[in-house]
Structure 1
Amino acid sequence: MNNPIIEIQSLSKKYKEADFFSVNNLSLSVNKGEIFGLLGPNGAGKTTLISMLCGLIKPTSGSFTLEGLTYKSSAHAIKKTIGVVPQEYALYPTLTARENLMYFGSMYGLKGNDLKQKINDSLDYLGLIKFADKRTDTFSGGMKRRVNLIAGILHEPTILFLDEPTVGVDVHSKNVIIDYLKQINQKGTTIIYTSHHLAEAEDLCSHIAIIDNGAILIQGTPGEIIEITHNAHTLEDVFLSLTGKELRDV
């Protein structure tokens, strides 16, 4: 039975002086409890879409709701229920991991022993407890990525937006992050996830939408979209079939 937690209707975004829409008349529903993958090449519109859903930028047209709420009427309530983990590190480099997390936790109204315990438990699970009091500018990319993730989930959001959560990390860090995301999801958090790691997305996501030029090309479970795409055996086959093989990193 469908139980939408995010509903998007004809959403579009065109930046000032841009020639094309970054998101173009996009409609989509995400059900509660899913790990939903937004996949697409560079410039497809993934980050713009997530930025609108997080309230960071305003749509040009169209509408959406998160748990039935809109930013126009319920911005404060929405911001308390969502978590955002950006691709860029949102950390203060001269603060320790613990100090960063105390700061971000306090922004969500967390305090006292409850906040300290959540920080300790998260750092321990992600293999960072012995580095808790080290400055984050001494951390590797994988360590920063893990602290970045904790900062976005301390307040136990209902919806978590992740933009490339495993980019630039080694295999060990990636596996720890993926396991942590699965645990968060099992506790009830709906996850919206973007990535260029297609094998990772195929394994992690319960539902996927591939977008390009701001529009959805295909959506469904990983198994469904592989099955309906001619000569496709993996999600990467589907991706290349739909978006072509032209280089996008120029």
Structure 2
Amino acid sequence: MIYVLFVALVLAALAAVLVGLGVWLGQRGKRPSAATRAHGYRGDEVDDDLRNVFIAEVKSEIGNLRRNLMLWKAAPANLARLMPLRRSFHTLKGSSRMVGVPALGDFNARFERLLDRVIDKSLAPDAAVVAVVEQAVAALPELLAQFEGQRTPRADIAAIMKTADRLIKSERAVVRPLRSGDATDSLPTAGAAAQAVRAVRSAATPPPPRSSAAEAPRRDDDTTPH
């Protein structure tokens, strides 16, 4: 009898532990609701542990972006200085989507794509590109504050994203300088060009007219007076 009672108590305790574990796991794996997603950059229902890790990561990447932005602005054509910026936007894109803040993920994805175009040399890193990347980096702390529920961004996030989209779709490709032996081998030399010009001028100049005296035939009845 005592043995049966002991087994029953153990089973009851085990069931309680399993129920509690299920509730805990359910809370950790809970995705943001539709209402939370509607806020765009808010993360009200993200698990606390995951939320804290995400906030720390975003702050770290913002610091990296600020430092690397200063280096890149000094030499926009230097791809080695651009790559760390692109890497930070890529990291923030993945982390934001993982915690269930797709709007923040999409924001970072835009600038990852923009820098991809600069890296593959299909877009020149001109003043407009540098300016919008600078605006994006400046806006990230405000987006993080909105995620934490502190305040809405003062920056015009929609306008920044629209500018990035326009640049991504633009056709302002990098002009590749001519290399030795590229197309210059087929160009005429100065001597050949001068010879060609003389030939054209010669062909275009009509021959001088012949004199009438030279053309008139001598008649047989012409006599010279004595």
Normalised by the length of structure 2, the TM-score is 0.23
TM-score between the two structures when normalised by the length of structure 1: 0.21
Higher percent of residues as helix: 2
Larger radius of gyration: 2
Higher RCO (CA-CA < 8 Å; seq separation 6+): 1
